[in-house]
Amino acid sequence: MIGFILADLRRLWLGGIVVVLLVALATALGVAVTLQERSLRLGSARAADKFDLVIGAAGSETQLILSSIFLQAAPLPLVDGAVLTKLAADPRVAWAAPVGFGDSFAGYPIVGTTMSLVSNTTSGFAEGRMFALEGEAILGAAVDLSLGAEIKPMHGTAETGGHTHTEIAYKVVGKLQPTGTPWDRAILVPIQAVWHVHGLGHDHGHDEGHEDGHAGAHDEEHHHGDGHDHAHEGEEHHEDGDTHAEGEADHAEAAIQLVVSQRQKHALALGPATSAHVESDHQGGIDADAPIVETFGEGTPGLPAILVKPKTIADAYRLRQEYRTGNTLGVFPGEVLTGLYATLGDAKMVLSAVAAGSQGLVAAALVLVTVIHVGQRRRQIGALRAFGAPRGSVFAIVWLELFLLVVLGVGIGFLVGLGAAHIGAQLFTAKSGVILPVGFTREDLRLALFLLGFAAVLSAIPALLAYRQSPAAALRA
């Protein structure tokens, strides 16, 4: 029987291919929609996995998550640096790390952060080591640069008309292992370097207190800035309308006013550092050889976001509650993403409906084609019966022939859908760094079984027609 079906399909190969293609495309559409949506959901959830609680200034929750976890460049209001100081001292907090954005290099975002964040959120180094000096940088796994490379940060991005901090260069000292998050595409530098590049918080981490050009709350204490260069830069930033815009004007004024006092403080702050260091600071904005200080005192500058690892779940809820008042915003990334998924889910439903509609159309077309086909083969079917083929065999032949084609189509459709979802995921990963886990689950098995069951019923229609034909009548036709 199989031999007969195969001979028949060989004879009707063109029609068979068309049927398989139709089924494959309709299946692939539905499969790709399902896989893509799921992988987007899982991938973004995984990207947010390491970040339990994000605290930023009052504003959009979604934007805070998109900027801090997905590193999407956008101006964020700044949260007072004192919040970080307070969080760092909070017994409920395992670690709290500032993140500073705004600069980029060769299309990769430069993120200022701390050693504790790097060691707590990544699985270690693929090569090299952690940054130890202010002028050192480490790369996410997906950054296409090598150890020892020089990175000249560009303010903003090339597309948004940013300018390059030509006077500054970070040296790459390490490359992280992949994490599957957008941070794989980031260049990580010490947060204090970011501050210094932008002329903020130059007296890093010293208890004598230093100003905060962004927050504006410590105006009296402004003894910051590193000379005219940075005052000038501050103004440029302002024109750029970048993430720091809100605080820049303050900072510029403060910098001019407090040059003298800053110089004194700076020398004091660096302690054993040579005067050459002080000089280079004045010219370049960062002191490449300065040690990194990660105790954040009172004068910590304003921050776009603080990533917090609470010690327990209860602590997480309490902290979020505490920092949801007034000028700060505490959010669970997972919660914000859930809200986004609801929107994504609506879009998926529309797409799924379109896919289901196309599958229905294909099914209807198949029934039409096969019913006509069976009509054309009446004589052949009648002859089979006349020569002694039992009715069951005739039913099985017609049924199997169509069912095989549909099964083949569904199989190819699943592969094509998987391939399409993979390609989509790769494009997405290249753009965002978020690794989208594309794969089949039990849910897809159910879809496949449903499609096959549907195909089995569908194929039975022409088979039943053939079954019911009287051989004599069929031969007369």
Partner 1 sequence: MLSLKIDDLAVSFPGLSAPVLVLDGLEIAAGSRVALTGGSGSGKSTLINIIAGLERVQAGRVVWGEENIADLPEGRRDRWRAANIGLVMQEFHLFPGLSALDNILLPARLSRAANADLMKRAESLFATVGLKRPGQHVETMSRGEMQRVAIARALLRSPGVIIADEPTASLDLESGEAVGDLLLSVAASTGSTLIVASHDQHLIGRLDRRLTLSGGRIVADTERKEIAA
Residue 271 as a binder of partner 1 (CB under 8 A): the answer is: no
Residue 74 as a binder of partner 1 (CB under 8 A): the answer is: no
Helices (H), 433-468: 442-468
Q: Give the one residue of 120, 164, 352, 393 binding partner 1; rule: CB under 8 A.
A: 393
Nearest CA among 102, 82, 56, 80 for reference residue 234:
102
Return the residues of window 5-24 that contact partner 1 according to CB under 8 A.
7-8, 10-11
- Nearer to partner 1 by C-beta: 183 or 467? 467
If DSSP states are collapsed to H, E and C, what string results for 319-378? HHHHCCCCCEEEECHHHHHHHHHHHHHHHHHHHHHHHHHHHHHHHHHHHHHHHHHHHHCH
Nearest-10 Cα torsion for 154, 245, 340, 430 = 0
Shortest separation between residue 5's beta carbon and partner 1, angstroms: 10
Confirm if 141 and 175 have CB atoms less than 8 A apart. Answer: yes
Residues 6+ apart with CB under 8 A from 473: 382
Stretch that binds partner 1, among 17-25, 45-53, 68-76, 385-393 (CB under 8 A): 385-393
- Nearer to partner 1 by C-beta: 3 or 91? 3
- Nearer to partner 1 by C-beta: 345 or 390? 390
Residue 387 as a binder of partner 1 (CB under 8 A): the answer is: yes
Residue 470 as a binder of partner 1 (CB under 8 A): the answer is: yes
Residue 379 as a binder of partner 1 (CB under 8 A): the answer is: yes
Residue 475 as a binder of partner 1 (CB under 8 A): the answer is: yes
Task: Count the site residues for partner 1 by CB under 8 A.
Answer: 26
Q: What distance in Å separates the CA atoms of residue 254 and residue 264, rounded to the nearest whole number?
A: 15
Residue 477 as a binder of partner 1 (CB under 8 A): the answer is: no
Nearest CA among 130, 112, 272 for reference residue 198:
112
Instruction: Give me the residues paired with residue 170 across strands.
Output: 151
If DSSP states are collapsed to H, E and C, what string results for 226-269? CCHHHHHHHHHHHHHCCCCHHHHHHHHHHHHHCHHHHHHHHHHH
Q: Give the one residue of 386, 427, 449, 477 binding partner 1; rule: CB under 8 A.
A: 386
Shortest separation between residue 468's beta carbon and partner 1, angstroms: 10
- Nearer to partner 1 by C-beta: 15 or 59? 15
Residues lying near partner 1 in the complex (CB under 8 A): 1, 3-4, 7-8, 10-11, 379-380, 383-391, 393-394, 397, 470-472, 475-476
